[in-house]
Chains A and B, each alone.
Chain A
Amino acid sequence: MAEKLEARDVSKNYGGVRALKNVTFTAYRGKVNVLVGENGAGKSTLMKILSGSEQPTSGEIRLDGEPVRLGSPRDAQALGIGIIHQELSLFPNLTIAENMFAGRELRRGGRFVDERAQKRRTREVLARLGQEHLSPDTLVGDLPIGQQQLVEIGRVLLTDVSVLIMDEPTSALSHHEVDVLFGVMAELREQDVTVIYISHKLDEFRRIGDWVTVFRDGSLVAHESMSRTDTGWIVRQMVGRDPDSLYTHNSAPTGDVLLEVRGLTAEGPVRPLVDDVSLTVRAGEVVGVYGLMGAGRTELVECLMGVRKASAGTVSIRGAEEPKATVQARLAAGLALVPEDRQRDGLVQTMSVRDNILVSTIGRFARTGILRGERERRTAAGQVKELAIKIPGLAAAVTSLSGGNQQKVVLARALLTEPVVLLLDEPTRGIDVGAKAQIAELMARLAAEGYGVLFISSELAEVRAMADRVLVMARGRITAEFAAADVTEEGLVAASASERALS
């Protein structure tokens, strides 16, 4: 087993903060080397150093046993090290083929872009990624996030890489897409390519990884062959405690029906995005909605919240129908949404923590039109304490918080609107394990306080662990419903691929 890429005794300081502490990491040739750890544990910093976009404060990098200097991403590329970032770096206004070859267009006659050859090779790559149904002429901006991620991966596959670093590539992929990606990774492994794979998803990387390396607080805490580990061991290494305590299951007794949806339908370009959906949420109940990307889950909560226009159906809250379907009316009726994409739909990045928490309910803090600063401060501080949000101060920029704390800010805002039913769209996406556990605990606590909770998730483990009742969506329809006791992974996966609506 040969060492391909090594970091020896590498440290990285940002100002006074040590992001990496004397880390020695080895990636083996022709293997899938998995890196895990909570956010801020140092994984991404190490990957930036290995891909040339950051320089280590001390230590050295070796490739095939030789010390190398990776002064820039270009240096790394020249040595055959490619990286797929967590954030997409695609041009939404260009086609798939144009994106694949952006910056390194194929030429004809030395000058003109050879579009035909580009499209041909794009089709080949798309086929390799199981996306042969996509046209190279499709605009990337029109693709769902999961497919955009695949395009990003395809871009790297086009170059000759001997080391491929993937930073959480599956966070936006559906199950089918993940399978395809893992197929590609297995194929790359056959071709002696070294894969370094960063992931949060315990159930996924165990399927593909050969070696697992665990980071915690800037240090490498464990390095082990995957076959000699189990999920519990990995989680213990990551958080330093037992994984069973990760998710809190709701045990509150259920009460009255708080939310009743009947025949909700939203039209889409081809087929309805939400197709005749009916569901109920009771007081004290945590209802999970499982489904793949594009199943219509986000569109469903958008319709409920009045952001998206429904073409048919009724929404009743506490037994009263709410016909206006504006965000304001639904908020007033008692719904509140914590959106999937925090950065895009949740946070106002230019505002402080306090202002973000209060923005939905700011009208309440004014007397004769003038805001009462002390009441604002008290309320915001109360929420921060209640949800245990870690902040430098109420006036701090909301962007200075970690993902989990940002999520809590959005949640605090939603709770201030005094909802009866909370809608949470992928509440744990992009936050670390510790924060996930806190969010799960919060959801259970809210249910115990008599709220109804409807949450969306595409992580099997999470849905199973947190929901009292699971609804499965596919192609805009509810295709199955399980009670907590009856949920099986097989059942969820089968229903999420189903064409038939549950009647």
Chain B
Amino acid sequence: MIDTKVPAPAPPAARGGRHDTLARAALLLLRGRTLVVLVVLVIFFSAISSEYLTQSNLILMTKHVAINAILAIGVTFVILTGGIDLSVGSIAGLSSMVAGGLLFTGLHVPGGTVFFSVAVVVVIGIVVGALVGAVNGLLVTRFKVAPFIATLGMLYVARGAAQLLSNGGTFPDLAGTDARGNTGFHVIGVDSWLGIPVAVWIMVVVAAGAIVLTTKTPFGRRIFAVGGNERAATLAGIRVNRVKIAVYVLSGCCAALAGLLLTSELGAAYPDTATTYELNAIAAAVLGGTALAGGRGTIVGTVMGAFVIGFLSDGLVLVGVSTFWQSVVKGAVIVLAVVTEQAQQRLQSGLAKRVA
């Protein structure tokens, strides 16, 4: 066991000390690479544009980040168990359309139309996301469908359902009326509290909850165990299927919440809402150091990843870079992040070997 793989040519023993110090510094830098990248981005863009590092722009960019961050936090739960959720963009679209429909046209029941208050609509929207997530979870556990396939299928089903709700059309006005008692949907997506957009507060609450859940609860520990070695987790007495269903439900809830924020901000619900957002969310998780194989990753990393993607995209728009270049740069940053992750792993095991 011990004398198996040893990476990288080792330096002469006499100089080991200095090399170790250097290696440790490099490792520290690599571990915090998402933060490093973020700082570099901020410095870079503020050098180009004086508008970048203003309070209002930082708040705005953070607000843009919020939606992807919430989606990505949900996806991180799933990835930590070794699964993947490709359906989050579509779930966001579906919950957006459900909420939009309830606010704009109401619920048709025998004998008339019922309108719900905004709070109830938001809850219904999130419940829809939870239910779709539960279906994903059941497909993965009970029916043994590979997560990639199950959620890919759900990507289409949920999107189609969103389109069916309005026959492809847009619910253009979600302001509600006093008579119907359903005004105030704009609060979550447009309004601010203490100078910070409500959407950002929501992201902070979701992230804090997710951090506590993953690091401070037995459930969180079980998520990591299932993702690290499912067979061992089973033998350790963990109800693996329950854990898996739970993470897909969490992911569905986060997706639904993100969809509602987006819709509230836009003041309109259209079936294409959040199309391909699942890719941004997965990218944020990967950027933040979550291993697609499962078992490794942090919520903080994912949120940082979302910040990097958001601050990068907005920065490129701010300085007027064309859409095509924005795409190229974003892709390159994601791949680079994974490359540095490999470097980190190598360095880490190299150091561990030397210490051993």
Contacts and interface: CB of A to CB of B under 8 A. Distances in A.
Interface of A: 13-17, 19, 39-40, 42, 44-45, 305, 307, 327-328, 331, 337, 339, 344-351, 355, 358-360, 362-363, 365-366, 369-371, 392, 397, 400, 402-403, 406, 413, 417, 430
Contacts of B229: 344, 347-350
Given A39-B2, A347-B229, A369-B217, A14 B353 contact: yes
Contacts of A307: 234-235
Contacts of A371: 216-218, 221
A50 to B, nearest CB: 14
Given A365-B218, A371-B218, A402-B1, A348 B235 contact: no
Nearest to A12: B3
Given A19-B3, A359-B236, A345 B352 contact: no
Contacts of A14: 3, 6, 10, 353
Given A13-B10, A359-B238, A366 B356 contact: no
Given A15-B13, A350-B224, A366-B218, 11 more contacts: A45-B3, A350-B227, A350-B296, A360-B238, A362-B221, A370-B212, A370-B216, A370-B217, A371-B218, A400-B356, A413-B236
B145 to A, nearest CB: 20
Interface of B: 1-4, 6, 10-11, 13, 16, 212, 216-218, 221-222, 224-225, 227-229, 231-239, 291, 294-296, 350, 352-356
Given A15-B10, A39-B1, A362 B222 contact: yes
B13 A16 contact: yes
A360 B236 contact: yes
A42 B3 CA distance: 7
Contacts of A331: 237
6 tightest Cβ-Cβ pairs between the two chains A and B: A350-B295, A350-B228, A348-B228, A15-B354, A15-B10, A362-B218
Contacts of A328: 237, 239
Contacts of B221: 355, 358-359, 362, 371
A22 B224 CA distance: 44
B233 A348 contact: yes
Contacts of B6: 14-15
A348 B295 contact: yes
A17 B218 contact: no
Nearest to A43: B3
6 contacts: A348-B224, A348-B228, A350-B296, A358-B221, A371-B218, A417-B237
Given A13-B10, A13-B13, A15-B13, A327 B356 contact: no
B16 A355 contact: no
Contact of B356 (A17, A365, A369): A17
A185 to B, nearest CB: 25
A19 B2 CA distance: 10
Nearest to A397: B352
A15 B234 contact: no
Nearest to B231: A345
Given A13-B10, A15-B13, A402 B235 contact: no
A16 B353 CA distance: 9
Given A16-B354, A348-B224, A371-B218, A360 B2 contact: no
Contact of B235 (A40, A44, A346, A350): A346
Contact of A359 (B212, B233, B354): B233
Nearest to A48: B3
A331 B350 CA distance: 38
A249 B108 CA distance: 78
A305 B225 CA distance: 19
A403 B225 CA distance: 20
B58 to A, nearest CB: 32
B224 A351 contact: yes
A365 B219 CA distance: 12
A251 to B, nearest CB: 31
A422 to B, nearest CB: 14
A400 B234 CA distance: 23
